[in-house]
Amino acid sequence: MGKPPFNLDGKVVLITGTGGGQGRAAAVLFAEHGAVVVGCDINAEQNNETSKLVAEAGGTMHGYAPVDLGDPEQAETWVEDAASLYGRIDVVYNNASAAKFAPFGEIDIDDWRFTMRNEVDLVFFVTRFAWKYLIKQGGVVINTASVSGHAGTHAAPQVSHSAAKGAILAMTKQLAVEGAKYGVRAVSISPGVIESPATKPFLEDPTARGVMLGDALIQRAGQPVEVAQMALFLASDAASYITGSDFLVDGGRMAT
Ligand SMILES: NC(=O)c1ccc[n+]([C@@H]2O[C@H](COP(=O)([O-])OP(=O)(O)OC[C@H]3O[C@@H](n4cnc5c(N)ncnc54)[C@H](O)[C@@H]3O)[C@@H](O)[C@H]2O)c1
């Protein structure tokens, strides 16, 4: 056996949320491994920064921003632009999300709907519009779930986020079933606590950090690239026998 084929040479990979921590890490890593990356984010400044970093790493990223993927028209335009630019879509990595957190007795309806729009709808829209391209040559869908889709937590009051990530786990399994006959693989990644601008302030507070990390076997936050590395493997042909599964990248939190 030779080296595992962890390369994405010539593959057209759509990554959502390339302005953020994990999306940025994935854009750079995937481009370094030969992918043509088409990114997008609602935050133009952050997304442009990622395009620069990918170029500095010697890769190619075509970045669109601002794109609000919670709006089906904008999601469709982004997907269609990518397909007409490169003629194919091999991988869709649904990474972008935004959520509102509040205790169950206080969360209001608008916050619930915001979270569903920005954590579930956008995954459905992007995948739905990319599907006709993915089934042409048997592509890959990678969805970002969370440990929050697997278990409750004391770390934050987050019923809408937990419900949304549970939906992502279920959606992924059904996509795998419906995609199998076309050679489409669908998988999800469930990160634990990953360092990001949103989590950093809490991680710097010892009490909050202790609650967030809980009983995790590796007592630190993960880095965005540690999630991107899993996504790279799943996107590559090295994962050709894998579909319908979820992959925890959580420092062993769900093992305890
Ligand atoms: N950071 C963690 O601890 C953690 C843990 C578990 C799961 N996750 C999941 O990992 C993924 C990436 O998280 P991250 O830590 O990199 O967060 P992040 O906030 O750094 O990145 C998310 C990006 O998505 C973009 N985005 C949000 N809504 C959008 C929309 N409607 N249209 C287009 N872009 C939009 C944001 O602007 C942001 O750049 C998310 O799905 C998140 O739920 C994160």
**Residue at 233 is within a domain:** yes
**Residue at 5 is within a domain:** no
Q: What's the token pair of residue 33?
A: 């491994």
pLDDT digits over 80-120, tens only? 999 999 999 999 999 999 999 999 999 999 999 999 999 99
Alpha carbon of 255 to those of 151, 153, 155, 174, 216: distances in Å? 11, 14, 17, 25, 8
Residue 36 in contact with ligand 1 by CB distance below 6 A? no
| Domain span including residue 238 | 12-249
Residue 193 in contact with ligand 1 by CB distance below 6 A? yes
**Residue at 256 is within a domain:** no
**CA–CA separation, 28 vs 46, rounded Å?**
14
**Residue at 87 is within a domain:** yes
**Residue at 1 is within a domain:** no
**Residue at 255 is within a domain:** no
Residue 98 in contact with ligand 1 by CB distance below 6 A? yes
Residue 42 in contact with ligand 1 by CB distance below 6 A? yes
Q: Cα dihedral sign for 205, 45, 145, 246?
A: negative
* CATH number of residue 139's parent domain: 3.40.50.720
pLDDT digits over 203-248, tens only? 999 999 999 999 999 999 999 999 999 999 999 999 999 999 999 9
**Residue at 102 is within a domain:** yes
Residue 222 in contact with ligand 1 by CB distance below 6 A? no
**Residue at 3 is within a domain:** no
Question: What is the end-to-end Cα distance of the chain in Å, rounded?
Answer: 36
Q: What is the share, in percent, of the chain residues with pLDDT greater than 70?
A: 98
Nearest atom, ligand 1, residue 25 CA: 16
Counting the structural domains of the chain, the total is 1
Nearest atom, ligand 1, residue 46 CA: 39
**CA–CA separation, 190 vs 106, rounded Å?**
27
